[in-house]
């Protein structure tokens, strides 16, 4: 099962899992987009099912877990991928901006783990992939909300991995760098960051293909990996995160990089 399967990394991951032999359940708040991904898979001969669900809606995600179990079968692989972007300094952000991005990027992942985790743990079989980001370990003055959500997803994944290891359930945090997807077209630019929209969009257009992340997701399940940076910039960030003194990390984070 892949959340955010209607676009970008989620859509590519749905295709990669289908190519590896999985029956795919594609979930998206945009039901039409989920349907399109599932139709693409069906045309390629892969069994797939679409559900329109908002991952921030806790009750709806619990109901989704029950519906998928009875209509499709037990979920072996859950990819909590649905997410949104926001850029802008902390003091420029409205309360609503903060609640919006925390709701999708963090609570959405938590809701998926809470709704689908119990059956996996009870069956003693399964794998959860949570899509974090290279920004989950790279502090940036201009991305405090996005970085915070992705750092939290990374930590939640590591905690669940420690917890569910003895139950035979693997958990991975996949941490992509800059990936060329439509996320940037829907990203909120707040405060003075609005002026850098064109430059940032161009940088994303030069990013990696979403298929690179999709391959990493499949590989992370096969090899039961813990933390998986994707793209050279994310690998460099992960390396720096582990060796760089924090006073240098904050100086680097003050640079306006995109
Ligand atoms: P995208 O915008 O192309 O796709 C995201 C999908 O999630 C969309 O189809 C959207 O409708 C869906 N979605 C959004 N809110 C939802 C909700 N509340 N409930 C259900 N579905 C919802 O974005 P993408 O680039 O493919 O991003 C996928 C994930 O990868 C996100 O978590 C993002 O933060 C992460 N990521 C992206 C990049 C990048 O450079 N593109 C880098 C690192 C991490």
Angle at 156 between CA 151 and CA 157, to 5 degrees: 100
Report the SS3 class of residue 36: helix
b/e per residue 153-168 (b: at least 16 CB within 10 A)? bbebbbebbeebeeee
- pLDDT value at position 79? 99
Would you state the structure tokens that stand for residue 215, as one six-digit string? 């391959």
- pLDDT value at position 216? 98
In a domain, 205, yes or no: yes
Give the CATH number, domain containing residue 186. Answer: 3.40.50.720
- pLDDT value at position 245? 81
**Residue closest by Cα to atom 44 of ligand 1:** 133
Interval 83-87 mean pLDDT: 98
In a domain, 47, yes or no: no
pLDDT digits (tens, 9 = 90+) for 146-191: 999 999 999 999 999 999 999 999 999 999 999 999 999 999 999 9
pLDDT of 258 higher than 80: no
pTM of the complete model: 0.97
* The total number of structural domains that make up the chain: 1
Q: Which long-range contacts (CB under 8 A, 24 or more apart) does 42-48 make?
A: 44/15, 44/18, 46/18, 46/19, 47/23, 48/14, 48/18, 48/23, 48/24
pLDDT of 246 higher than 90: no
In a domain, 28, yes or no: no
pLDDT digits (tens, 9 = 90+) for 106-162: 999 999 999 999 999 999 999 999 999 999 999 999 999 999 999 999 999 999 999
Task: State the distance from the centre of ligand 1 to the C-alpha of 247, rounded, in angstroms.
Answer: 31
In a domain, 76, yes or no: yes
State the residue range of the domain holding 74: 58-253
Model confidence band, residue 73 (pLDDT cutoffs 50, 70, 90):
very high
Model confidence band, residue 18 (pLDDT cutoffs 50, 70, 90):
very high
Pocket test for ligand 1, best of 33, 40, 82 (most atoms within 8 A of CB): 82
């Amino acid at each position: 099962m892949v959340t955010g399967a209607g676009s970008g990394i989620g859509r590519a991951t749905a295709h990669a899992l289908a190519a590896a032999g999985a029956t795919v359940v594609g979930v998206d708040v945009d039901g039409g987009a989920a349907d399109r991904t599932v139709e693409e898979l069906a045309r390629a001969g892969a069994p797939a099912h679409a559900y329109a669900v908002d991952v921030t809606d806790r009750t709806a995600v619990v109901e989704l877990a029950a519906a998928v179990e009875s209509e499709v079968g037990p979920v072996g692989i859950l990819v909590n991928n649905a997410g949104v972007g926001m850029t802008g300094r902390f003091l420029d952000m409205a309360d609503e901006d903060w609640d919006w991005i925390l709701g999708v990027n963090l609570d959405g992942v938590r809701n998926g783990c809470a709704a689908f985790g119990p059956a996996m743990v009870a069956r003693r079989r399964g794998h959860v992939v949570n899509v974090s980001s290279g920004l989950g370990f790279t502090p940036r003055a201009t991305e405090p909300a996005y970085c915070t959500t992705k750092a939290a997803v990374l930590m939640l994944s590591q905690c669940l991995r420690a917890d569910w290891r003895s139950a035979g359930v693997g958990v991975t945090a996949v941490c992509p760098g800059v990936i060329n997807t439509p996320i940037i077209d829907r990203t909120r630019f707040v405060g003075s960051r609005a002026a850098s929209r064109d430059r940032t969009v161009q940088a994303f257009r030069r990013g990696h293909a979403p298929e690179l992340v999709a391959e990493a997701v499949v590989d992370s399940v096969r090899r039961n990996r813990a933390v998986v940076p994707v793209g050279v910039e994310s690998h460099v960030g992960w390396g720096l995160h582990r060796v760089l003194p924090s006073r240098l990390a904050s100086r680097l984070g003050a640079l306006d990089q995109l």
